[in-house]
Amino acid sequence: MILNRLLAIFLFAVFPLGVFAQEIGGIGTGGAGGGTVNQGTQASSANAWPTVPTIGGAANAIGNPMFVQLTTGVASLGTVGLNAGSNIVGKFGIDQTTQGVTNAVALVPLTNAQGGNLTPVFSAALEASHTLKAGAGNLYSVYATSTASGVAGFLVCVNATTITAGAITPVDFVAMGAGPTTVGISYSPGPPAAYSTGITCAETVAATPFTYTAPAAVVAYHGLVD
């Protein structure tokens, strides 16, 4: 009795447990390439070893880590369809179906200045001042040529349809040397200077551009407005 127990202890110490499982319980099998796991079954005898779990037809020794490896078939991820409807798919761009609606861009007609079609406003004869526009508008440029000799002053433009002697508040002004001389004011190609009432330009021979003292009719004007 004692010898049998010692023999059993010796056998367990020398041989791995998996050997006894194979010898006593047998090796479980599965279909080749099936990719399935056999969990093993318990024999009817209380002392019988359970069958070794199998994976894809290969037995896994008891006590070893188990893993699953696909041996047949191809795993694939399905594609998700996009219902385009009226949307643009597959490119980046601006939808020009309806300007100002689908593209959020409204085309604004070019002004005369932007199109290069401004009609010039100019003096027909020498004068003291000139109204370039008798209403609200934009000043793009103006120049004045004085024929008077030895008279200095300023070219001024006021937000009005006329200019009168006395204090003024010019929107634009530039010094004019003793004539004959030509000076100008330009905002081209823009943006222009906005005038809400009118655009009137003149030469003042006062000491400052904030006082209008009319010269003789010795100036010619040329302007671009819209």
Q: Are residues 211 and 129 in the same domain?
A: yes
Residue where one domain finishes, among candidates 35, 59, 83: 59
Phi and psi of 178, rounded to 5°?
-60, 130
Report CA-CA distances (Å) from 70 to 34, 53, 58, 66, 163: 8, 16, 13, 13, 95
Q: Is residue 189 part of a domain?
A: yes
Q: What are phi and psi of 220, to 5 degrees?
A: -115, 135
Residue 77 is assigned to a structural domain of this protein: no
**54 & 149 share domain:** no
CA 137, CA 172: separation in Å to the nearest integer?
Answer: 14
Confidence label for 199 from pLDDT (cuts 50, 70 and 90) = very high
Q: Does 220 lie in the same domain as 131?
A: yes
Convert the pLDDT of each residue in 140-193 to its tens digit: 999 999 998 888 999 999 999 999 999 999 999 999 998 799 999 999 777 899
Q: How many domains does the chain have?
A: 2
| Model pLDDT, residue 36 | 46
Within a domain: residue 198?
yes
- Strand 172-176, strand 153-158: pairing: antiparallel
Containing structural domain, residue 54: 2-59
Q: Are residues 148 and 53 in the same domain?
A: no
Question: 103 in a domain, yes or no?
Answer: no
Strands (E), 67-152: 121-122, 129-133, 137-146
Question: 96 or 27, which is more confident?
Answer: 96
Predicted model pTM:
0.51
Q: Is the pLDDT of residue 200 over 70?
A: yes
**186 vs 51: which has the higher pLDDT:** 186
Q: Average pLDDT of the chain?
A: 74
Strand order in the sheet with 153-158: 129-133, 199-204, 153-158, 172-176
The reply to whether 96 falls in a domain is no
Flag whether 69 is in a domain: no
Give the model's confidence band at 119: pLDDT under 50 very low, under 70 low, under 90 confident, else very high: confident
Q: Do 48 and 128 have their domain in common?
A: no
CB contact set of 159 (below 8 Å; sequence gap of 6+):
169, 171, 195, 196, 197, 198, 199
pLDDT-based confidence at residue 21 (cuts at 50, 70, 90): very low
Name the nearest CA neighbour of 194 among 136, 128, 145.
136
30 pLDDT band, cuts 50/70/90, is very low
Order of strands across the sheet with 37-38? 37-38, 54-55, 58-59
pLDDT at 91: 61
Q: Is the pLDDT of residue 40 over 90?
A: no
Residues 6+ apart with CB under 8 A from 210: 167, 168, 169, 170
Query: Does residue 10 sit within a domain?
Result: yes
In this prediction, residue 87 carries a pLDDT of 63
* Length of the chain in terms of residues written: 226
Higher pLDDT, 96 or 40: 96
Residue 70 lies in a domain: no
Quick one: 128 and 217 in the same domain?
yes
The partner residues of 181 in beta bridges, in order of sequence, read 146
Residues 216, 126: one domain?
yes
For residues 54 and 44, the answer to whether their CB atoms sit within 8 Å is no
pLDDT at 19: 47
